[in-house]
Amino acid sequence: MKTLRQDWLSNIRNDLLAGLVVALALIPEAIAFSIIAGVDPKVGLYASFCIASVIAFTGGRPGMISAATGAMALVMVMLVKEHGLQYLLAATILTGVLQIAAGWLQLGSLMRFVGRAVVIGFVNALAILIFMAQLPELTGVPMAVYWMVAAGLGIIYLFPYITKAVPSPLVAIVVLTAVAIYFGIDIRTVGDMGALPDSLPIFLLPDVPLNLETLQIIFPVSATLAVVGLLESLMTASIVDDLTDSNSNKNRECVGQGIANIASGCVGGMAGCAMIGQSVINVKSGGRGRLSTLAAGVFLLLMVVFIGDWVSQIPMAALVAVMIMVSIGTFSWVSIRDLKSHPRSYSVVMLATVAVVVATHDLAQGVLVGVLLSGFFFAHKVGLLMHVRSKVEDEGRMRTYQVIGQVFFASADRFVASFDFKEVIEKVRIDVSRAHFWDVTAVSALDKAVIKFRREDTEVEVIGLNEASATMVDKFAVHDKDGAEDLLPGH
């Protein structure tokens, strides 16, 4: 009961107001994403209502907004073009099933492999993409648009000094709409983006044949949608965690996203996921609980269906001002200042993530590149920590090599290069009590060292293998097998 009260009733007024602001900002975005995907505007609007309303109950991150998104819309384009809307709805339902499976398999915990540099790069790239998405509304337009956007930004940033009782983005939208209507200013409005639906969504299953051919058509798209959706949602959850100084349940979020997408597909909506821009608007407007997400979905539907005539008169300039505020607020300005002080590898990962996301408009590719680079730099760094020292014992007849650190694919060559195979000596002892052998490459390097010494007629003894390393050596090593020299690869 305490958790229910905290999630739903602890911040009612701010949650409702923040939900209203988010709903207003969602309308043109949902229409725009529908156009990107090549479907009717109501597909994106119904999806945004349904996903936001369902995720409020099923999601693992209170206060996070999920709806139809641009990243998901880009994946759907070819499916809609080649097979039509019904196959998109079927793909949306299958996406939900795959996401629920990911949650049950605890794949949300894989987020721990996404480093801070990748998250910051992801955030900065999204801020840039959000700003770039506003440029069509700012090019080749009358001067009045620029004045309206400037006035909107002025209200958004200055109104909080007067009062914080009402979210300043909501004030900006209301004031600019009133000014545009009163003075009859001829600029683009939400109504110009596309026709708003005038009826509530109804439950219906996709009209597609239930056979293997349908599965072959929709599965590749659904798999991509599921991965992109979960990546964006889990990254956004991490960002909202930071903004609100609280924690989220990542595996519950995976299942919640799946349930929301299944529901969306059953009411004629497209697949969606968490939206960083709208989530930031929600948090900055005072939204914290699940009520803000539910309010956003419900207000969206009510406004579109019942007061669509008024909503359609909102000038796009007002919403552009809100999205520019989101872009500025989302970008991590500190990360630019820290480029000089942070390690070079951290900065390279962050910049590479930004570059790939902005270039491809694909968040999944950017995060993948960032994670791979992080892994490469980590392996390189750990590999450099491995070193070997030696001392002569037994009156010059034996040399002991002490190996310290982690021996694996990145340090295996340095491990072999640390031995002097040409030294004339009776016996060599390789002490690995302070080392760990992680993979087959490491075991192969040990084989190479032992066999090279034996070729020089030097007796070799390996001591100090820990239990895990000994298991690897017993299983994969050849230096202790008969005919070891012939078994060693390349000989």
Global pTM reads 0.75
Residues 338-362: pLDDT tens digits? Answer: 888 888 999 999 999 999 988 987 7
Residue 342 CB contacts under 8 Å (≥ 6 apart), including other chains? none
pLDDT above 70 for 488: no
Longest distance between any two alpha carbons in the chain, whole Å: 101
Alpha carbon dihedral 283, 289, 294, 295, in 10-degree steps, equals -60
Encoded amino acid at 251, one letter: N
Q: What is the pLDDT of residue 178?
A: 93
Question: What is the reported pLDDT for 484?
Answer: 56
Give the amino acid at 284.
K
Residue 365 has pLDDT above 50, yes or no: yes
Query: pLDDT tens digits, residue range 123-135?
Result: 888 788 878 888 8
Helix axis angle for 168-183 and 316-330, nearest 10°, is 160
Token pair, residue 482, equals 């008969």
Alpha carbons 336 and 364: distance in angstroms, whole number: 23
Query: What pLDDT sits at residue 491?
Result: 47
Sequence-distant (6+) residues with CB within 8 A of 94 are 215, 218, 219, 222
pLDDT at 406 over 50: yes
Q: Residues 12-34: pLDDT tens digits?
A: 899 999 999 899 888 878 887 88
At 382, the pLDDT band (50, 70, 90 cuts) reads confident
pLDDT tens, residue by residue, 180-224: 999 988 888 888 877 777 788 888 888 888 899 999 999 999 998
Beginning with the edge strand found earlier in the chain, give each strand of the sheet holding 387-393 in spatial order: 387-393, 398-407, 427-437, 459-463
> What would the two tokens of residue 379 be?
């392996």
**pLDDT tens-digit readout, 323-343:** 888 788 878 898 998 888 888
Q: Which tokens in the block code for residue 180?
A: 């545009």
CA distance 156 to 148: 12
Residue 6 has pLDDT above 80, yes or no: no
What percentage of the chain reaches a pLDDT higher than 70? 98
Q: Could you give the dihedral angle defined by the CA atoms of residues 256, 258, 264 and 265, in that order, rounded to the nearest 10 degrees?
A: -160
34-46: pLDDT as tens digits: 877 878 888 889 9
User: What CA–CA distance (Å, rounded) separates 451 from 342?
Assistant: 43
The string of pLDDT tens digits covering residues 420-445 is 988 888 999 999 999 999 999 999 99
Question: Average pLDDT of the chain?
Answer: 87
Q: Where are any strands of DSSP class E within 364-489?
A: 387-393, 398-407, 427-437, 459-463
Q: Give the tens place of pLDDT for each residue, 47-92.
A: 999 999 999 999 989 989 999 987 788 788 888 888 888 999 999 9
pLDDT of residue 166: 77
